[in-house]
Amino acid sequence: MQKEFHLSQTDVKRLAEQFGTPLLVMSVEQVKRNYRTLKEFMPRVNIHYAVKANPDERIVRTLKDLGSCFDVASDGEIFQLQEMGIGGDRMVFANPIKPVHSIETAGQAGISYYMVDSEPEIEKMARVAPGAGVLVRVRMQNPEALIDLNKKFGAEPADVMRLLLKARDCGLDVAGLAFHVGSQATQHHAYLNAIKLCRGLFDEAMTHGMNLRILDIGGGFPIRAPGSEKINIQAIFSSINNALDEYFPSIEIWAEPGRFICGTAVKLITRVIGKQHRDNQDWYFLDEGIYGTFSGVIFDHWDYELLSFKDEPLISATFAGPSCDSFDVIFREKETVRLDVDDLLLVPDIGSYSSASATTFNGFSKAKVIVWEQLGDVIQLDTAV
Ligand SMILES: *Cc1c(COP(=O)(O)O)cnc(C)c1O
């Protein structure tokens, strides 16, 4: 059993000295472990990594070498993967609403399968990419998920049959159904309900002479969130897998994991660069903020853990980023030990929906990314690589 990606206090100090801060440390071995865990417990699943979670070339390349497929949503993601030698036969265009030029780009790249969830999109697909393969995305209610993607996407189950028939009548290759139960879905019920619902829709499609052949169970697979209990991911995967074997024994199964693959594979090292006492609270200013890697606080609603390696009483403090915008406050009323200027903080599990949405607002560069497993000769570390 391989060890999880870990950085000691000494590692953090040495890395900060050598490379400066803010610094993102990525473990490609952890990416591999996450991919293999998913594959081990759900062996039938054809993994399509959701590139939007973290498009870093080193993550994509690692997955490419493991044989993964990819979920793309834009021209930019298609071009990036193409340049890395990944063929369109390993991509699904998972965005249910696509500009015409993206459908053309996808067609030129050789992508065969596209998500749709509305009539206008089906008409557009038939016009721009006649005969293309489509999966109809079904809306699944799951208020338990941290990010409910079904507010924006998915056709109501009651409308799905009409869309399938429409796609067939338009001459498209009606390949199957897809769903996404929402990101960071910590319970397996949402998947089980969705799988059962889709079974009913597959059966109904059959009565209309449509033999659907692909079920895409989306992403949403969770990682441990700060302050939450440890997640038994193996139990979640096993129960999804059992449901697939029970309801879809002979159908091709796809999944589109994002967070689960990359979330635990990156850690951030950031430094306290300023300190102020305001409104009866300590304020700590870090060299990374809301406009950088901590953009995940806004877009991903994530509450990151800040490790200081100090064993002292906890206080409640405010953490702000380095920019001159008053919006650049990362956490308010955050429990922490007392900190000083120059202290280093380690932020684990910051690999998904973080650097992907970072900006260079106010002239602050994006945090540098280094690969943990490639440091062996560069720097003397605590843990053997
Ligand atoms: C974002 C997204 C994913 C990845 O979701 P995770 O919760 O990160 O696993 C998968 N599929 C689609 C269509 C998405 O938009």
Domain boundaries, the chain: 28-262, 264-374
Q: Could you tell me the two tokens for 89?
A: 């036969």
Asked whether this chain's domains 28-262 and 264-374 adopt the same fold, the reply is no
Average pLDDT of the residues of the chain? 95
What contacts 234, CB < 8 A, 6 or more positions away?
A: 37, 41
More confident residue, 341 or 381: 341
What contacts 124, CB < 8 A, 6 or more positions away?
A: 98, 100, 103
Ligand 1 and 183: CB distance under 6 A: yes
- For 107-158, write each residue's pLDDT tens digit: 999 999 999 999 999 999 999 999 999 999 999 987 777 877 778 999 999 9
Atom 13 of ligand 1 has which residue's CA nearest to it? 94
Ligand 1 and 257: CB distance under 6 A: yes
Supply the pLDDT for residue 1: 45
Supply the pLDDT for residue 147: 79
Supply the pLDDT for residue 274: 98
Q: How far is the CA of 256 from the centre of ligand 1 (A)?
A: 6
Q: How far is the CA of 218 from the centre of ligand 1 (A)?
A: 6
Its pTM stands at: 0.96
pLDDT band at 229 (very low <50, low <70, confident <90, very high): confident
What is the C-alpha separation between 189 and 333, in angstroms, rounded?
Answer: 33
Ligand 1 and 137: CB distance under 6 A: no
Q: How far is the CA of 348 from the centre of ligand 1 (A)?
A: 21
Q: Any idea which fold 28-262 has?
A: TIM Barrel (3.20.20)
pLDDT band at 18 (very low <50, low <70, confident <90, very high): very high
In this model, does residue 379 exceed pLDDT 70? no
Ligand 1 and 218: CB distance under 6 A: yes
- DSSP per position, 207-243: HTT----EEE-------PPTTSPPP-HHHHHHHHHHH
Q: Which residues pair with 69 in a beta bridge?
A: 48
Task: Give, as one character, the DSSP assignment of residue 286.
Answer: E
Q: Which residues pair with 70 in a beta bridge?
A: 49, 91
**Sign of dihedral through CA atoms 20, 23, 27, 30?**
positive
- For 202-227, write each residue's pLDDT tens digit: 999 999 999 999 999 999 999 999 98
Residue 349: which region, alpha, beta or left (left: phi > 0; alpha: psi -120 to 50)? Answer: left
Q: Which residue among 69, 95, 187, 256 has the greatest number of ligand 1 atoms within 8 angstroms of its CB, and so is best to mutate?
A: 256
Instruction: Give the position, in ligand 1's atom list, of the atom nearest the Cα of 352.
Output: 8
Atom 14 of ligand 1 has which residue's CA nearest to it? 50
For residue 261, what is the enclosing H or E element?
A: helix 259-262
Phi/psi of residue 235, each to 5°? -65, -40
Instruction: Give the position, in ligand 1's atom list, of the atom nearest the Cα of 220.
Output: 7
Hey, what CATH class is 264-374 in?
A: mainly beta
Ligand 1 and 259: CB distance under 6 A: yes
Residue 262 annotated among the catalytic residues of the structure: no
* Positions of E strands within the chain: 23-26, 45-50, 69-72, 91-93, 113-116, 133-137, 173-178, 214-216, 252-255, 266-278, 281-286, 315-320, 329-336, 344-347, 368-371
Q: What percent of the chain has pLDDT over 70?
A: 97
